[in-house]
Structures are given as C-alpha cells and as structure tokens.
Structure 1
C-alpha cells in the first residue's frame, strides 16, 4: 500500500464508536518525541553517520527477528549473511522477497511494512518479481543525505536514545555525540552480564581485563570496586540505567567470606553448578546495592534461554535468533533483593518478562506494593499489538497505569524505532478507548493517561 494511502486507523478498534475515541487519543500523542530508554542501536552509527550500506544489511542480516523466521522457513543463516562478510546483499534480498509471506500476521511483518512505506516510501508489496526493482529503489534512497543516520534521528523525533554497552567500553562515541549538535540525547547503558555470570564466554578473561583496567586487586572486594568504577564512568557519560539479562532472576545475600570463596572458585574454574548459581544470584543482589548507591536505574530482562541451538551458536555466534523464552518466577527469586532494597528511596527496578503468566500473578502485584518496582513494557516476543493489549489487561487492574516503564523498543533495527513506538501508542489508544466506551474512565482522564504513558512516565522511571 502506498505510504500516502496507509490506513490512518491501523491497529485501532473495528467498532466505529470506539475507533473514533481511539483516534482522538492517538492523535493527541502521535507527534510526541520518542523516548527510547532501552535499545541496541550502536552509538557509532550516529557518531560516524555513514550511509547505510545496502537493503539486505539494513532489513535482514542485522535483525534476528527477521532471520529467525527465514531460517525456520528453510533458509540457512549463512545465505542471509549472518556470520560472514562476503555474502551477496542482492541475493539475500531476493531470498527475503521469496519468503515475504512468512511474516504475514507477525509484528515483524507490520514493522517491515511501516519501515518500507513510512520511512523509505516504497509503494509496492515486496515479492520475487519486483525484488530487484525495490532493492534498487532503496539503494537510491539510502544514497541521499536525508537518509543518513543523523538525519533520520532528527526526522524520527528522537529525544532520548539509549544504547547498550560493555562495561569496559571507552564511550568515545557517546562523548563525541554529546558535543555534536544532535537534536536529542544518546546515552549509554551499563550491561555487565558477561562480567557477572561464570558461564559466560571468556568470563575469566573479562574479569582479568576489568581488574587491569581499574587497577583493583583480584579479590571479591576489588571486583566490586572495579564494577563500581566502571558504573561511575557510565554516569559521567550520561548513563541513566543498567541492564541485566538473566535466565533466572534469582537473588541471594551472602556474607563477605562466602562471596570471597565463590569469587575464587569461579575464577579458578572449580565452582560447581550450585556455586555458579549462587554467585550469579549474589551479583544480581549486588547490582541492586550499587544502584541504591549511585542512582542508576536497574532493569532486569529475565526468562530467556540463550543460544538454544548449540550448533547454530558454534557456527554463527550469539544473538542470531535462537534465544527462546522459558517460564520465569519473580516473587520468591527477588524477595532477598526486595527485602534489602525494595523500600529504598530513589531505587528504581524495572522488571521485564517474556512469560505472560507473570504479569498479573507476580510483576503487577510486586509493582503494586514496592515503590521501587516498575512493570517493564512488553518485550522481545511480546512487543506486538495483541500482546500489548494483553499486557494492559493483565497489569492495569492491579498496578494501574503509573507503575509501568513506558514503552521500550529494545531494537537493533534503527529504522524500526518510529514504527515500534507508533505501534505502542496505537495499542494503548485502543485499550484506553475501550475503557472510555465502557464508562470506566472519562475522556479527560484517558487523554492525560496516554500523554503520561508516552512522555511523563518514562522520564520519571528512567530519571530522564
């Protein structure tokens, strides 16, 4: 469908009366600037401001939402350019066009259409017959100055964009962006997973580099001080939050002697599975303690089994589409952390899940009591229109609208940012419109709520 003919009421309710209410709510926030306090776009993309190389790299190879479904339909990841630099981008695009139909009904399919039509003005539905024509059209567009990353950043109306960064990153790209005249802020996010999990690849080498970079001794106290120092480095460069990605949000408070014993064991490789779990749980606890100290918002993305396909991981590495959700428990796992820090003024803990059963059973009740706990927006497999509607229904009656995080796009695909935020605004407008139509809230309240969901709430939760 041509960009100028896209349905202006897409994703809004089918009932005409409710749709009219939703339309007014959506239009009240449609042009608000974008707050993206968690995502995976690299700061270097904007600092270097190089033209995007080709459509395949932009839409296919770098987006594991896309490659995973293509892989499931019989296309090898190697054919899609994953893990290699010598694949033919036009051939990748043709394979993508051949399988365009596999994205029908998915959130990825919706976002891809929004990107192609709304950002690049592609008016044809992609198919094998027009693959080369569309490819050439996109190449011509990407060569124009208005499609460079910084120009698109301005066009998208991004006010804050958070990246996700290794604790030892020098953050030079962020420093350059701070004085570059960019129309919005780009802030780093402290992502320490590889330094907290003894099962992480090259864990021992990471700790050695961390201690060497900070000049701290090889002890548990020195290790904590080294992490503290790197967090301070992120704060100096505008960081507002940390991100912990864990399969299990298990926490435990250990005394210093036991923590020292575990640190020694995980470094020298003698720790058994129980020791490694205890160390992970204690380090998640310690990350909360450090957030109480320095004020960085703590986000926990829990419940994903990483690298489910060992063969794929060996050949193509991590983040290549085979991370799979698992059932997750928060109430018992987080009790030690919340017993110590849940009532601390200024501590913000944002909990994300891909296990929908936890929304109403655990996360909303936790956020409905602890002033430190916020319900993370639908994430990863759940950041889709129907899943957002289920999320609102699951959490609102317990935690209301004020105990959430605001929308999180969590994307590596830069061009999808406006589509994802627009999706959330439309889904929330649809949900609020139903409440208005059913007489459960008034229209003035709905207008205030949707404005807060888009702007005020994420600013408060992420201390922006």
Structure 2
C-alpha cells in the first residue's frame, strides 16, 4: 500500500489552480478577525502561557466535547483537582479517536503552525509534544501579542458586554500594538426580562457604567445609548446578538414599558411578553447601529445549556450547547423589513447554526440590499458547529448560488483560544480548492486577475472595506 503524507503542503489543494490561488493570492493576505471571544485582558497584559494546556485546552469547548464523548472523567477536562499535564495527557489519548472530526486536522495544524511540531498526537508522543511546546511557549514570540504578530492578525474584534469598562481596550489602544483590537457591543442581558434577578443586576451595572439612573424604560434606553456611544469612541463599530430566533411579534413602547417595570419589580415576564420585549429592544438596537454607521451581527439558532448537571457544576458556556430547530424565516424577514422601511437598517451579518437554514439565510440577505455598501446584508461564514469542512462548503455553495460570493467578508475565528488562527488557513484552503476546481472544470474563466482578486477580497480586503474599522500594520 502506497504511503500518503499526512497534512502535506498541498493539503486540500487538489488542482494546479487551487494551489496557485492559495499560495499566491490567499496566503499573502493578513487576518481580519471581526468576531471572536479572545479575552482583551490577556492581550493588554501580554500574557505568557505557562504550558500547552493553558493555551490549548483551557476553555476550548470543542476539545471538551470530544473528551466527554471519549469517556474522560470531567475532573480531567474542567476540574481543578488534576494537573494541567494530566489533562493534556487525557486529550492526547482522545485525539486518535477523533479521526474525521475537524479537531483531528485542527489539533495537528495548531501544533505544526505554532510550534513546528509534526508528531502525530497520541499518548506515546504526548510527553515529547509537551516538552517541545512548553519550551517554545517560554519565548517572547509566544506572548499573546507575539502570537497575533506571528499570525499577521491585523484586526481583532472581541465580544464585550455594554457594562464593561473597556479598561483593557483602553490600555491596548495606548500601547499602540500593530494589531488593532476593537470592542463589540453584545447586549444580550438587556433582554432577559424572564429572569429578573439577572436582568436587575445587569440594569444596576448599566446605571453605574453609564451614569444614568435606570428607573424606567426611557432611562434604560438612554443608558444603553450612552454605552453604545462609549464603545464608538474607542473604535467599536460592530454589535452582536446571540438569540434563538427573532420573534415574529410586535410590541409598542407602552407594552415594553410595562414589561420593563414588572421585571424591575421582580416579576418574571412570560414567554409571550419576553418575545415582545425582545422585538422592541432589537428594533432599538438596530436604530442605534444605523445611527452610528455600525454593523450588526445576528447569531441565530443555538440551543444552549442542555446539561443541567454540568450547568450546575460549571455554569454557562460549558460546552453543552447544540443546534436548535427554531423557525427563523418569518420573524427575521419582518425584522429586517421593519428597519429597512424606516431607513434604519444597518449593515448586517446573519449567521445560522442549523444547516437546514442555509438557503433561508442566503435568500434572506437579498431582500433588503441597497447602495449603502456592496453586500450590505451578509450571509455569515459557517458558525460554531458549522465551521468545519462540510459546513463551510455548504455555506460557500449556498451563498454562491443565491447571492454574490465575490462580496463575502470571509472567515472569523469565533474562538476564545489564541491557537485558533489555523481556522483561517483551513477556510482559505477550502475556498481555493472549490474555486480552483471550478476553473479547471471550465466553469470559471482562467483569469488570474479576476479569480485571484476575488480570493484576496474574500480573505481580507472585503472585510477591510465593509466594517470601516481601523486596521493594523502587520
């Protein structure tokens, strides 16, 4: 049997055109990471990670899920009674079981691209991998800021609560890093009127951060507006919302005022009231973004916190979320149309988590385009469970068939890990493979300027033009 190298230089690039597009047009482009969950405090402090577990496994929900599926005890995943090395060994035992899972590719690419380690990950090789990686992590190149430079990350947009002081963003801005780091306005807690304890605690934080006494709906909205303006003053130009779906409902200001007052008094809103309040607030947030020329991101379709045992032990974001099967089309269409009809629809990126909604979202973006910007409404890249080979191909194909792939703003990491930048490489290889195959098949002209230019646009230049953010110098 003929040997085939694992992850060769031309990995995923099966045609001459794919290789030309990737190495000559995609690779030279820097990274524009317009949505992620990197902690800004770690960038500001230029954190140096103690060991491979700290940078590679801590907080990585993808790896946690694989380890649980492999029967690893939770203490070796998220517990505090076991050593970092023992947790790393538990993952090394798991990797051989992840064949055909994207983690198998990602994990090996991460070790190769970051540390130059081309060993196959398994329990036998684990001690050597640990030793080699930890030696590299101790060098100046592997601080958080060094990693951003090494990966040529020009722009990072973190995900931040409106009540956040943004002190770390202020420190980063003053430091003058070659990577520009911008905050993103994520006001999900402004709509949790079904959970008064959470909602009221957040309202109190909002009042403290804005300097506005939050006593009624009008002052609540004023306080949010002030925080939105504060984010804008620090370079923020994006908002983000994580919702199951956009409600197909309506809500007057009088109704919203009553729901707000009840929640402030400790009375939980029922499902219908909560949906109405969400609709009212989402219209308000859309108007804020339009007023300041921002881009709105809508992440729709996640069914979260599905394991009460781990939710109780670890809290939210424990890696026990899944794809939901919510109705998306009607509420989303009404929402976009309502803002568009009033001239208040900002640039918007739509992300679906259920692949059955690919064609819904890909057609939805065409309903409300205008001349504010080419591709004003975007069908966002494969998100979360869909940011793997098949999911990204589905998204690219749906967008190609029903919209303008040439105007697509490309890939993002959506990650808490500084090791995730290989996902941009993965995406770029897939993109060039698909387009290169079309050229070879005679479906696209063999025109380097036309096709290579589109690759460069999707990998970086479209995002640079679209988001209106100050870019770095890498």
User: Structures share a fold, TM > 0.5?
Assistant: yes
* Paired position in structure 2 for 1:16: none
Question: Is 2:66 aligned against 1:69?
Answer: yes
CA distance in 1, matches of 2:6, 2:251: 60
* Paired position in structure 1 for 2:282: 284
CA distance in 2, matches of 1:378, 1:209: 34
Tell me: CA distance 1:217–1:63, structure 2 relative to 1, closer, same or farther (3 Å).
closer
* Paired position in structure 1 for 2:335: 337
For the 8 Å contact 2:246–2:328, the answer to whether it is kept is: yes
For the 8 Å contact 1:385–1:427, the answer to whether it is kept is: yes
CA distance in 2, matches of 1:323, 1:253: 29
Tell me: CA distance 1:299–1:29, structure 2 relative to 1, closer, same or farther (3 Å).
same
Tell me: CA distance 1:249–1:145, structure 2 relative to 1, closer, same or farther (3 Å).
same
Deviates further, 384-393 or 328-337: 328-337
For the 8 Å contact 1:250–1:333, the answer to whether it is kept is: yes
* Paired position in structure 2 for 1:240: 237
Aligned length: 452
Structure 1 alignment gaps of length 5 or more: 14-18
Question: Is 2:400 aligned against 1:396?
Answer: yes
CA distance in 2, matches of 1:407, 1:307: 26
CA distance in 1, matches of 2:280, 2:223: 16
Cα deviation, residue 148, structure 1: 1.4
For the 8 Å contact 1:40–1:412, the answer to whether it is kept is: yes
CA distance in 2, matches of 1:367, 1:463: 20
Cα deviation, residue 270, structure 1: 4.0
* Paired position in structure 1 for 2:43: 46
Structure 2 alignment gaps of length 5 or more: 370-375, 470-474
Deviates further, 206-215 or 336-345: 336-345
TM-score by length of 2: 0.91
Question: Is 2:417 aligned against 1:413?
Answer: yes
Cα deviation, residue 460, structure 1: 3.1
Question: Is 2:55 aligned against 1:58?
Answer: yes
Q: 1:110-142: per-residue Cα shift (whole Å, max 9, x none)?
A: 111111111111232122223222212211111
Q: 1:202-223: per-residue Cα shift (whole Å, max 9, x none)?
A: 2221112212332233111111
CA distance in 1, matches of 2:193, 2:62: 28
Q: 1:422-452: per-residue Cα shift (whole Å, max 9, x none)?
A: 1111111111112212322213322121111
* Paired position in structure 1 for 2:175: 180
* Paired position in structure 1 for 2:427: 424
For the 8 Å contact 2:244–2:301, the answer to whether it is kept is: yes
Q: 1:12-47: per-residue Cα shift (whole Å, max 9, x none)?
A: 23xxxxx10111111112121100000011111121
CA distance in 2, matches of 1:79, 1:412: 20
* Paired position in structure 1 for 2:224: 227
For the 8 Å contact 1:266–1:276, the answer to whether it is kept is: no
For the 8 Å contact 2:203–2:214, the answer to whether it is kept is: no
Cα deviation, residue 246, structure 1: 0.6
Runs of 4 or more consecutive aligned structure 1 residues displaced over 4 Å after TM superposition: none
Tell me: CA distance 1:250–1:346, structure 2 relative to 1, closer, same or farther (3 Å).
closer
CA distance in 1, matches of 2:132, 2:142: 13
